[in-house]
Amino acid sequence: MFNSKLNKTMISVTLAFVILTSALAASYVITPAKAQPYFTLWAVLNTDPYYGYYGGYHDVFYKLQIELAKIDIDLQIHILPDLYSLWELMWSPSVPEGGQVGGHPPQGGWDITAMEWWMHNQGFLWMDAIILSQNVANGPKGGINIFPYLSYENDELYWKTQTTYDVATRKAYADEWQEYLMHNPPIINMWYPNTYDVRGKYIEGYDGNAWFYDLNNMYLNPATVATYASQLGPTAVTRLGTDKSIVYAAGEEWWNFLVTYCDSYTEEQFQNMVSGTLYRPSIDPWPAEGVNPPPTDYTVRPHLASGMPIDIGWETNVTLNDEYRVRIPLREGVVWSDDDPFDAEDVVWTINELILDPTIGCTGTGDFAPMVQYATYKNDIPPGVGGYDPYAVDLILYEPYVDLPLILGNSWGSGILPKHFFEAHGGPPAKTSAYNSGFNQAKDVPCIGPFKFLDEVPPIGAGALTFANNTKYFGYALGWGPHGIDEVVLDYIEDPGTVMSKLRTHEIDFGEYPTAPITAFEALRNDPSFLVQISSYPASNPIWMNFNNPNLSNRYVRLALAHAIPYEDIFKNTLPGWGIVDPIPGGTWVHPWQVYQGEFLFNTEMGKYEYDLTKAQQYLDMYLYSQQAYAPQGSPEVALGPVGDANFDGKVNLDDLLYWLEESGNAPLTRQLDAEPWWDPSWLSGPYDTIFPRDGGPVAPGHDIDPDFDNSGTVGSEDLALWIANFGNQYPYDGAW
């Protein structure tokens, strides 16, 4: 990663020979117990005690609080006043560029928290926006990297994973990338869940992971309704049999009605009903009723596109820039609900004017910006010019991108809006537009999905939304569903326990995050009107850490936390009460069911975090010893800490020599990070050089550089000697890396 500097550090080649033949083992001394904690971390949680996208994971943090006290870290728990304050604190546009400060609200921001991160089986959608350095929260690229996680190694390994189509090569990069994330964690993923999927047996052709992305097979079976009429009761029988209306318990409120501003699971759900994306996550072949499909059957299919992307390849434009062109064929004969035809103008306009404009606030921008430069018409021929093709668009990419179809199928900000409507009503709609924020205006926007807005029951944004069948939906001519459903109701139910109780009485037919003990779910198997399945739920359940906290910006502290979590206790004594079955110990965001062309992308060989307070203390000591305030007096060996590991990556190698060379003669921690772009200079120049350092500090969070190994106050020749003596060491113990 430092190739651009190797020309001025060739002395390291000769020096390395000396080092490799004379490296000495590092000594290690355990820090004596303290009367006072070393520092305090604030766990900022919302009001939901359970797991999920808006989950607070309360019991997990109460357990963690006890364990961290054993290694002299004080964990304070602050529960915010409502379900959504945490989201506002971490991700809202009011958050400063680069992420909120650490600390205790309202004086500070947040230090650690937890919430689920859902990932498709089909790829790494929603990863670019949160993992790449250029995508710091509210930064110039419109991303949601809220940590902020700034790592050349991560950027490079992730991008190589995403830009090779060769299965073996992609798997190799994915494995290496996950190993890196485990050693320099932006999150601590605690588990991958197996959960109960419960619904009325009369709803067929539904898969919990395909969710509302693919409604083509959904069927409300009237015969099954009649068969189980006595279990359903007269109210449900009338609703289902006569009105053909199904009810889904939505777990979140809604604030936006346009697909480009989707901000909650409920919004994403109804966008899959009323709007359109070029592609859709799906399953092929569709499984038999009650059967969990194998992960290899999950796929991405064309939706508004008529086929999969066509790689045109590299070409040189008039400004002599290399561009990678991909062609998207569009489906013909599709109309919006106002009978205006869907065509290339809608796609090019939406992508260029909304999704790729970072000032707009589109939630899909962070996923698009790393790969798509702009959209154009086929062969750059616009409407009104001979040769224009209304049923194809070209995307100009930075490089080939494996997950392009999945990101083009992202209803969380990447759906297509009707150009003709908004051009007649003021142009590209801002997030503050009434068409986005008001139901009565939103229902006037032409839809292109199988349903259209019908009614909203107050309280606004937290009551219920009703959707009616859109008879002009193009899918019906293709034999697609949903079948036998005239109306869908999304009923917001905040309490997960209430969701479970309303399932039992068939007031709802299925829903988001029903929470109850395993025994309660198993009891439903005795009622033949329910279909009860245990399915692998494609989500990580991570502890998120704010790198703007100067303690958490150090990888050794984050790894100490990772080894202080009582995993088995949580698995055995907490999760069964939430309805989670046989949780799989966590790794990275990548979950065990993610597949690429038959190859599982999850790295089964990488190490797992384990509850081990001895290791946790060792990792914490590596950080403490590097801080003069904590270094034990009268014990020079102990005070040196991770000697030679200038960049705190756990290894003493040539990277550390480069830091020493740049800082020689200076006081420690004075180096200004500069961009070492391995691909596009505009990427890293913002986050590294402009946004950080924060608060006047000299180094970006996550890069606690200290080549002053003897803590003398100056980087000098004595530090070089210590680096030589410790070359090859791994901290805090041999094999830790």
Residue 636 pLDDT class (50, 70, 90 cuts): low
Give the pair of three-digit tokens for residue 484.
């036998």
End of a domain among 619, 651, 670? 619
Assess if residue 70 is contained within a domain. yes
Q: Any idea what the CATH number is for the domain that residue 365 is in? A: 3.90.76.10
Whether residues 285 and 362 share a domain: the answer is no
Assess if residue 166 is contained within a domain. no
Q: What is the pLDDT of residue 319?
A: 64
Strands (E), 524-593: 530-536, 539-540, 542-545, 580-585
Residue 627 pLDDT class (50, 70, 90 cuts): confident
Judged against a pLDDT cut of 70, whether residue 234 lies above it is answered with: yes
CB atoms within 10 A of CB 286: 16
Q: What is the pLDDT of residue 213?
A: 97
What are 584-587's contacts with CB under 8 Å, separation 24+? 584/191, 584/192, 584/193, 584/194, 585/191, 585/609, 586/188, 586/189, 586/190, 586/191, 586/192, 586/540, 586/541, 586/542, 587/178, 587/182, 587/189
- Element holding 456 (H helix, E strand): strand 451-457
Q: What is the pLDDT of residue 676?
A: 40
For 581-598, how does the pLDDT look when each residue is reduced to its tens digit (9 = 90+)? 999 999 999 999 999 999
Residue 632 pLDDT class (50, 70, 90 cuts): low
Q: Any idea what the CATH number is for the domain that residue 243 is in? A: 3.40.190.10
Assess if residue 433 is contained within a domain. no
Residue 55: which of 118, 140, 143, 145 has the closest Cα? Answer: 118
For 308-340, how does the pLDDT look when each residue is reduced to its tens digit (9 = 90+)? 999 999 988 766 678 899 999 999 999 999 999
pLDDT, the chain, mean: 89
Sheet with 451-457, side-by-side order of all strands? 451-457, 464-469, 487-492, 245-250, 510-511
End of a domain among 408, 426, 460? 408
* CA pair distance 79, 61, nearest whole angstrom: 11
* CA pair distance 289, 640, nearest whole angstrom: 63
Mean per-residue pLDDT, 112-132: 95
Give the pair of three-digit tokens for residue 625.
């010893």
* CA pair distance 68, 112, nearest whole angstrom: 13
Whether residues 227 and 253 share a domain: the answer is yes
Range in 70-74, 151-155, 512-516, 632-636 with the lowest mean pLDDT: 632-636
Q: What is the pLDDT of residue 654?
A: 92
Residue 451: which of 478, 421, 465, 471 has the closest Cα? Answer: 471
Whether residues 124 and 79 share a domain: the answer is yes
- The total number of structural domains in the chain stands at 4
Assess if residue 735 is contained within a domain. no
Whether residues 87 and 143 share a domain: the answer is yes
3-state class of 319 per DSSP?
coil
Sheet with 310-316, side-by-side order of all strands? 310-316, 322-329, 392-397, 372-377
Q: What is the pLDDT of residue 699?
A: 55
Domain of residue 696: give its range: 3-29+641-725
Whether residues 598 and 652 share a domain: the answer is no
Q: Quote the pTM value.
A: 0.91
Assess if residue 474 is contained within a domain. yes
For 55-80, how does the pLDDT look when each residue is reduced to its tens digit (9 = 90+)? 999 999 999 999 999 999 999 999 99
Assess if residue 610 is contained within a domain. yes
Assess if residue 52 is contained within a domain. yes
CB atoms within 10 A of CB 241: 17
Alpha-carbon distance values, 292 to 191, 192, 472, 515 (Å): 21, 17, 32, 21
Judged against a pLDDT cut of 90, whether residue 32 lies above it is answered with: no
Whether residues 262 and 115 share a domain: the answer is no
Q: What is the pLDDT of residue 10?
A: 31
Assess if residue 669 is contained within a domain. yes
Judged against a pLDDT cut of 60, whether residue 17 lies above it is answered with: no
For 563-582, how does the pLDDT look when each residue is reduced to its tens digit (9 = 90+)? 999 999 999 999 999 999 99
Range in 53-67, 100-114, 667-681 with the lowest mean pLDDT: 667-681
Whether residues 519 and 558 share a domain: the answer is no
Phi, psi of 578, rounded to the nearest 5 degrees? -95, 0
- Element holding 189 (H helix, E strand): strand 187-189
Whether residues 463 and 522 share a domain: the answer is yes
* CA pair distance 626, 643, nearest whole angstrom: 9
Mean per-residue pLDDT, 709-716: 86
Whether residues 553 and 601 share a domain: the answer is yes
End of a domain among 389, 408, 427? 408
Q: What is the pLDDT of residue 638?
A: 64
Whether residues 118 and 45 share a domain: the answer is yes
> Of 503 and 736, which is predicted with more confidence?
503
